[in-house]
Amino acid sequence: MKKKQAFIERIEPSFGSSFALKKYESRADDQKPFWHFHQEVEIVFIKEGNGKRHIGNHISNYYNGDLIVIGSGLPHNGFADRLIGAGTEVVLQFREDFLGPDILKRPEFIAVRRFLDLAKNGVSFFGNTRSEVGERLESLFYMSNFEKLLEVMKILNILATSRDLEILNVSGVTLVHSVQGADRLDEVFSFVRENFQDDIALEQLADITSMTVPSFCRFFKKQTGKTFVEFVNEYRIAHACKLLADDPMSITDVCFEAGFNNFSHFNKYFKRITNKSPSEYRKELALVVLPE
């Protein structure tokens, strides 16, 4: 198997700016999600889209778009299958010290400093915060560089003082940030993405990562804070949640389509991860307006 590059992403600021700003207006089928991390804080606003998110130890789905802040050094997978219809995706990336090495020590930035520390666990925003910040992020493309800088500061203050948020890694992230670790984890996650519906033997992953089975198990637990079996089952449950939301198939069919070959095992894991049975989860989703 050909060895991939290690995915420590290098980010360059946009021309004339101290931060990077990008906009995507259509889904890029040739851009596969990959496991990576970077020093920059990343704010992602996805308008009118849905898909899986894998940030730190957290795996879940989002619907009708999302607003996420990924803190410095937090490993994450790129988003996939996210844009629908007239959806857009805005990505803002900046170093914590992009306003100067001592700016966060100023009393006016206490809330922002605390927020950037919190963002190292990954934060998702909803409600009025998501709407307001999303509009502000989209408006950045029509401003001068000086106006952009002022607006980014306003955005950070809104996020830092908002209560419309969910911390994605409540217990913290134990992932080790290393070139070799990121490289191997990307290979493992890519393999799981393509094969989670099948039985996966530990010997297959040991071969992919050029390790023995015991070494791979120790490596994976150290890097992710969970066993490989726990990770695969969480990924399968995330896929099952998406099927329950998007597809009219029966819960039994969802079980097997998500990669479980035992309905009792599926029910047990589903309730352990979501605190609901599959039928309860589907009933709750029926009360939520999802994108067509």
Query: pLDDT tens across 182-241, in order?
Result: 778 878 988 998 899 999 999 999 999 999 999 999 999 888 878 999 989 988 998 898
Q: What is the pTM of this model?
A: 0.73
Cα separation, 277 vs 103, in Å, equals: 48
140 and 45 together in one domain: yes
Nearest Cα residue to 166 out of 76, 276, 60, 74: 60
222 and 138 together in one domain: no
What are the DSSP E strand ranges found in the chain?
20-24, 35-36, 41-46, 51-55, 58-62, 66-70, 76-77, 89-94, 123-125, 165-167
68 and 154 together in one domain: yes
pLDDT above 90 covers a percentage of the chain that reads 47
pLDDT score recorded for residue 6: 37
213 and 156 together in one domain: no
- What would the pLDDT profile of 50-75 be if each residue is shown by its tens digit? 778 888 888 888 877 899 999 988 88
**How many domains does the chain fold into?**
2
pLDDT above 70 covers a percentage of the chain that reads 84
Region label for 198, one of left (φ > 0), alpha (ψ between -120 and 50) or beta (otherwise) = beta
205 and 277 together in one domain: yes
69 and 142 together in one domain: yes
Nearest Cα residue to 37 out of 172, 193, 183, 159: 183
What value does the mean pLDDT take over residues 8-35? Answer: 72
Domain that holds residue 233: 196-285
- What would the pLDDT profile of 79-123 be if each residue is shown by its tens digit? 655 555 556 789 999 999 888 888 888 898 999 999 999 999 999
Here the CATH number for the domain that contains residue 256 is: 1.10.10.60
